[in-house]
Amino acid sequence: MLEDLTGLKEHYLRCVRCGQCRPVCPVFEEVRNEAASPRAKVFLAHLLAGGELTATSELAAQFSRCILCQACTRECPSAVPVHQIVIAARSLLAGKHPSLLQRTIFKGIWTRPGLLNLSVGLIRRCQGLGLLDAGLARRLLPTSSTLPGKLPRYPARAFIPEITPAAGKAKTRLGYFLGCATNYLYPEIARDTVAVLSRLGCEVVLPRTLKCCGLPQLENGEPDTAALMAMDNLAAFRRLNVKTVVSDCSSCTATLKELQAQQPLQDIEILDLSGLLLGLLDNCKPGRNAVKKTVTYHDPCHLAKAQGITLSPRQLLREIGVEYREMDGAGNCCGGGGTFAFYHYGLSMKILAKKTASIRETGAEMVATCCPACIMQLRHGLAKHKEAVQVVHPVQLLAQSLNPA
């Protein structure tokens, strides 16, 4: 299981309150209140663990104002894992002040693929009947409920088989971790991911028993639940003789890597999709067409900050043949943070507005990013600001390039 707040004592005691985390925190940048800074959260966690602070709903609200983007963890000169401390504090606070709704969603429903599928189907049906629009018009639903947009008719799991053979001679066997956002919101990304991997000589394995990666549970005070789900997922790949796992969602890969460090299943390698695709393209050199589009790129926090990967997605876009334009602040958070945007919609939109302005300044036709949650956030923000910029995953552009003209 993941360490609790007391077990992280040696880490939060290393914080010297230098403040180097403040300039990189997207929440502090907007709130401009010391209590919202990462170093303040570490100090509050210290007091909470020692019993000097009482677990209250107000304190829980304070810890909820964190995107878990890991910018502070990456920046900290004392190597304090701030995001882990925030997760542990949320877990302690959730135990003291449990939310029945959150526990029902993130532990009761989201951990069970069948129930989650039924729930998403119900939302899709309500959208089709106009019930969600009616709820918004009557202010019975929060504005944040519009973030996912219109749900597609079928999730990716409805049409992707458990095993997809390589298009030619199989060079490798890969496990494909299909995340919730890709599955339910953007099944076309899943389709293109599997098709591209197959075209490049991979046998692609998608276990039917896969669950969520565990990030929503980590965000909402259920780290032990997340750890159990990760063990189940890695075991599912092992049963199908898969040694290498890849995902088109950077949040999923970051979460799986972090949770894997706490698990005994260390014989499974978890890879970033963009780096893998570059290697496959280099080895295969299949015929392809240049995608004649001007494209900029947004760094997902869980790829750039959590995994330190920034170069390979840009190299992949250039390999595809687009006209690439770097944006100012490409590594700045978009304000999504999974469930953060739903809980703190107004604050999230302020952070997002800076990102959409940066995209606009490039003059690009498209913005590519490797995280479906970022795709959701960017599409929402660009539509909100009436910007005619498409938001895509790099694998979608590669799929276009590999298709005959």
Q: Please, which pLDDT band fits residue 288 given cuts at 50, 70 and 90?
A: confident
- Domain ranges for the chain: 6-96, 100-146, 156-280, 287-402
Would the pTM count as exceeding 0.85? yes
Residues paired with 296 in a beta bridge: 367
Per-residue pLDDT at 286: 62
Q: How far apart are CA 38 and CA 24, in angstroms?
A: 10
Query: Class for domain 6-96, per CATH?
Result: mainly alpha
Per-residue pLDDT at 280: 92
Q: Please, which pLDDT band fits residue 269 given cuts at 50, 70 and 90?
A: very high
Q: Following DSSP, what letter does each residue of 188-226 receive, concatenated?
A: HHHHHHHHHHHHTTEEEE--TT----SHHHHHTT-HHHH
Largest separation between any pair of C-alpha atoms in the chain:
67
pLDDT tens, residue by residue, 292-323? 999 999 999 999 999 999 999 999 999 999 99
Q: Which two tokens stand for residue 39?
A: 């170093």
Of 62-71, 164-173, 307-316, minimum mean pLDDT range: 164-173
pLDDT tens, residue by residue, 130-148? 999 999 999 999 999 999 9
Mean pLDDT computed over 96-102: 89
Q: How far apart are CA 217 and CA 233, in angstroms?
A: 15
CB 116 within 8 Å of CB 104: no
Q: Which two tokens stand for residue 403?
A: 């298709």
Mean pLDDT computed over 331-344: 95
Residue 7 has pLDDT above 90, yes or no: no
Please, what is the average pLDDT of the chain? 93
Per-residue pLDDT at 2: 60
Domains 156-280 and 287-402 equal at CATH topology level: yes
Q: Please, which pLDDT band fits residue 283 given cuts at 50, 70 and 90?
A: confident
For 156-280, CATH gives: 3.40.50.1860
Q: How far apart are CA 249 and CA 265, in angstroms?
A: 21
CB 177 within 8 Å of CB 252: yes
Radius of gyration of the chain (CA): 21
Per-residue pLDDT at 154: 96
Q: How far apart are CA 248 and CA 394, in angstroms?
A: 9
How is domain 287-402 classified at the architecture level of CATH?
3-Layer(aba) Sandwich (3.40)
Q: Please, which pLDDT band fits residue 360 given cuts at 50, 70 and 90?
A: very high
Per-residue pLDDT at 403: 78
Q: Please, which pLDDT band fits residue 1 given cuts at 50, 70 and 90?
A: very low
